Chain A
Amino acid sequence: MTVDISGASDESAVLSALPPLPPPDEVTATRHIESGRYGNLRAALAQLARKPVFIIALLYVLFVIVSAIFPSWFSTGQPYATFPSDVMQSPSLHHLFGTDNIGRDLWTRVLYGSALTIKATLLAIAIGLVAGLSFGIVSGFYGGWVDAVIMRIVDTLLAIPALLFALAIITSVGYGTIPVALAVGLGVIPGFARTTRAEVLRVKTQPFIEAARASGASWMRVLLRHILPNSWGPVVVLAVLDAGVVIIAIASLSFLGFGAPPPASEWGTLISAGRDYLVTSWWLSLLPGLFVALLVLSLNHISKTLQELER
């Protein structure tokens, strides 16, 4: 779609979005802070450290990841151990999330479930990132018919709603954590491909690329040393945002019953199993659900903060 008059309004929007020029001594001060190889990074980190909600979100995400790798650090019990005397206990200090119908500690089961869900999430994001980056780079870098073909494939994949595409893959591959991760991961490729391509196209036209070429760098070197490092910002933001989307998708699929078979305790499976006892024991479904929702919210907040920083 061509927008005839947008050129002028875009420019004014950009101009009005620019901050007013700082007084001269402040300029030198900023320069001083940002000097050195990692100056930009340090300045960015200092800015992030002043955002308390961001810090809390980051800590929560880190906690979930660490507890997924070392669940025994945060829980003394075993996920499959039953306490026949403690069936259907409501949350208490002894059983943080309460216990289920056969007396298993829900907190422990959520943490051990993290291992499965986080593994699946990382695998899905890795698939999306690697394939999406490759497609996006090839598409943006080579242009021409290669670009046209790849972008038509991306259009096609976008035409099928992601969850339905994942369900189709599960139909043919089968149930389990890995098939679910694969199915969801394939679904996020188009988004990564598009973002990467747009970034590569933007960076490719900058003068320093021309300068690098003029000073004799090969295309491969230009791609790896100049284009890639300058285009990964928005891709990282998307990866964090997509991690939230992927977690919801994976939890939804295991909620629908396509995750790891019982007694494994994937988050969606736990929430779905607790549904039968919602009337009497609300914590069985709602506490693991909140655990997941908080993680997704945190990831979205992190991605949003990074995006604001990027501008």
Chain B
Amino acid sequence: MTRYVIGRILQAIAVLWAAYTVAFAVLYLLPSNPVELQLAAAGVDPGSLPPGQLHAEEAKFGLDQPLIVQYFDHLGGFLHGNLGTSITQDIPVSQVIGGRIGSTLLLSLCAGVVALIAGTTLAYLATYVRVKPVRLFLSRVPAIGASLPQFLTGLFLIQFLSFKLDWLPASGQQGWQSLVMPTITIALVTGSVLAQVLMRSFDEVMRQPYIMTARAKGLSRAAVQLKHGLRNAALPAMTILGVIAGLTVTSSVVVETEFTRQGVGSLTQQAVSTQDIPVVLAIVMLAATLFVTINLIVDLLYPILDPRISHYAKAA
């Protein structure tokens, strides 16, 4: 068991290192020079500067070093919690992200809770209801929810809840009212994905003999599904928690931009459009770390939650 846990942790670290390497390769092997781009954006012709000054500017961000040195510099920095310096803002990346991550975490948390409750309820109902058209309708809802583009859902909500009914603010992040529409927009997609997996899992579980046993000893159908069905159906659904977290993170890019919220998502959009490479690299690595960590935790918890599954065979 210990061997399995250690092996799994090492594997997660290896994946993260590889992800860092891929992201670094994508971002730093580019032909353009970020410093020159910043100067051009500020209206300064890089050619007009004395060559020493341009070089000093590059040296400040370590861009004059050979790529391999930059690679290890950043890797070492990441391991020590130093995410580098933002090229556009000239302050540490950790500070740039730190100032904005609270808003994104709050939004992600709300979206996660709503998706969990709505997705589970929908899957439960779709399995419980026996009236055929209703059942068919409920089972088709998540397929539609998952395929609606988020920019469109957001625009519909703004159009109806803000402009037509004037219930909620269309943008900004003041008060809980501003959280409602972004939360719905994200949760619609993540909740649908969750519901789809849960429905498939329910289908499988409700055919098991122990369900029949529970029914035979006199439990109502609703109780059987809640106590015996949901618990077992939730297990396979746990394996997609990492995917749902990843979806929430990527959704925040579109949703925060759309609702003009100051979070890591809108920061990503700004960093990409200003070619602030250290910020983009840090955000990509944050997302990858989140995904890998959640998958690691789920994998390690799984045998505890479901004793039928054992890792001994693999570890031995």
Instruction: Give the B-binding residues of A (Cβ under 8 A).
Output: 1-5, 9, 13, 16, 152-153, 155-157, 159-165, 167-174, 244, 248, 251-252, 255-258, 268, 271-272, 275, 278-279, 282, 285-286, 289-290, 292-293, 296-297, 299-301, 304
Asked if B310 is at the interface (CB within 8 A of a chain A CB), the reply is: yes
Shortest A167–chain B CB gap in Å is 5
User: B151 on the interface (CB 8 Å rule)?
Assistant: yes
Q: Which of B15, B163, B246, B292 contacts A279 (CB 8 A)?
A: B163
CB of A160 within 8 A of CB of B144, answer: no
Task: Mark interface residues in B59-83 (1 if CB within 8 Å of A CB, else 0).
Answer: 0000000000000000000000000
CB distance from A161 to the nearest CB of B (A): 4
Distance between Cα atoms of A206 and B309 in the complex (Å) = 29
Q: Which one of A13, A252, A256, A257 lies within 8 Å of B149 (CB-CB)?
A: A252
Known: A301-B143, A304-B143. 8 other contacts (CB 8 A): A1-B311, A2-B309, A152-B14, A160-B19, A171-B30, A256-B253, A286-B159, A289-B151
Q: Which residue of A lies closest to B315 (CB)?
A: A2
Query: A168-B23, A168-B26 known; A161 and B250 CB under 8 Å?
Result: yes
Asked if A160 contacts B27 (CB within 8 A), the reply is no
| Contact indicator B273/A2 (Cβ below 8 Å) | no
B288 touches A (CB below 8 Å): yes
Q: Which of A16, A156, A275 contacts B207 (CB 8 A)?
A: A16
A2 touching B149, Cβ below 8 Å: no
In the bound assembly, the distance between CA atoms of A271 and B283 in angstroms comes to 26
Chain B residues near A169: list those with CB within 8 A.
26
**Complex interface: chain B residues within 8 A of A160 (CB):** 19, 22-23, 284, 287-288, 291
A297 near B144: Cβ-Cβ < 8 Å: yes
Q: Number of B residues contacting the other chain (C-beta, 8 Å)? A: 61
Query: Which residue, of B16, B27, B147, B249, has the highest number of chain A Cβ atoms within 10 A?
Result: B147
In B1-52, the 8 Å CB interface with A consists of 14-16, 18-19, 22-23, 26-30, 32
Residues of B near A174 (CB, < 8 A) are: 32
The smallest beta-carbon distance between A272 and chain B, in angstroms, is 8
Say whether B275 faces chain A, with CB atoms less than 8 Å apart: yes
Instruction: Tell me the complex Cα distance, A257–B151, Å.
Output: 13
Interface presence of B103 (CB below 8 A): no
Inter-subunit contact A296/B284 (CB<8 Å): no
Asked whether, in the complex, the Cβ of A293 is within 8 Å of the Cβ of B23, the reply is no
Contacts A/B (CB < 8 Å), 30 sampled:
A1-B302, A2-B310, A3-B308, A16-B207, A155-B15, A159-B15, A159-B288, A161-B287, A161-B291, A165-B26, A167-B253, A167-B268, A168-B284, A171-B30, A171-B272, A171-B275, A171-B280, A172-B26, A172-B30, A172-B32, A172-B277, A248-B147, A252-B254, A255-B254, A258-B272, A279-B163, A289-B151, A292-B152, A293-B149, A297-B148
